[in-house]
Structure 1
């Protein structure tokens, strides 16, 4: 009887551990997305706007100009005054 109870408890613990592991993995993916590189949807959006004028709202303010390059985790924008702004994607708030 004790043996069956222990086996049942172990099965429940394994199930809970499996659920917790899946939850931890999902949370880790969310953290990686926020800390790591940009999502593929952001890259796809930016690729479609290459060589066009846009405004990027960042944590440091707005940048307006022509999108001239897309790196792994940054973009380059040629501003109307001729300067080149290099903006880390982690600082993006919006793109228009």
Structure 2
């Protein structure tokens, strides 16, 4: 019987040692995991602070963008008006150029801001008309200054 009790003691002792080693390993794992949880928690706090700072900066920039947009609205209206005016001038200049190109080599009278000029139309450029006056003078007239052609 004493033999059986000794074997049982040895088995219980081995079992106790085995459980003790396992418990120690589990304790180390729990400590390591607790450290990792603390690290993640610290990183979360840092990220939260950075997010708050970034949100504050973004709100400030958003306000600045709104202020700039409000300041640029009048310019947008002016630009639109100028674009319409330029388009009108270009269309008029194109119409005058097209009309004059069909009259090259003929006698024309062109009214401009500087007065009337008559003579033979010798050339039409991108933005000018060339007239040879009866006196032999060559006159260049900017198409933007032409008010009428006859």
Aligned to 1:31: 86
Aligned to 1:76: 130
Q: Secondary structure at the match of 2:99?
A: helix
Aligned to 1:49: 103
Distance 2:141 2:102 in 1: 18
Q: Secondary structure at the match of 1:72?
A: coil
Q: 1:37–1:72: 8 Å Cα contact kept in structure 2? A: no
The alignment's C-alpha RMSD in Å is: 2.6
Of 85, 88, 92, the match for 2:142: 88
For residue 35 of structure 1, report the CA deviation from its aligned partner.
Answer: 6.6
Q: Note the 1:3-14 alignment, pairs <5 A.
A: none
Higher Cα radius of gyration: 2
Distance 2:96 2:90 in 1: 14
Q: Secondary structure at the match of 1:81?
A: coil
For residue 94 of structure 1, report the CA deviation from its aligned partner.
Answer: 0.4
Please report the TM-score for the alignment, with normalisation by the length of structure 1. Answer: 0.64
Count of residue correspondences: 73
- The structure with the largest helix share of the pair is 2
Q: 2:97–2:143: 8 Å Cα contact kept in structure 1? A: no
- The structure with the largest strand share of the pair is 1
Q: Which runs of 4+ in 1 moved over 3 A?
A: none
Q: 2:133–2:139: 8 Å Cα contact kept in structure 1? A: yes
For residue 36 of structure 1, report the CA deviation from its aligned partner.
Answer: 8.8
Please report the TM-score for the alignment, with normalisation by the length of structure 2. Answer: 0.43
**Relative contact order, higher structure (CA 8 A, sep 6+):** 1
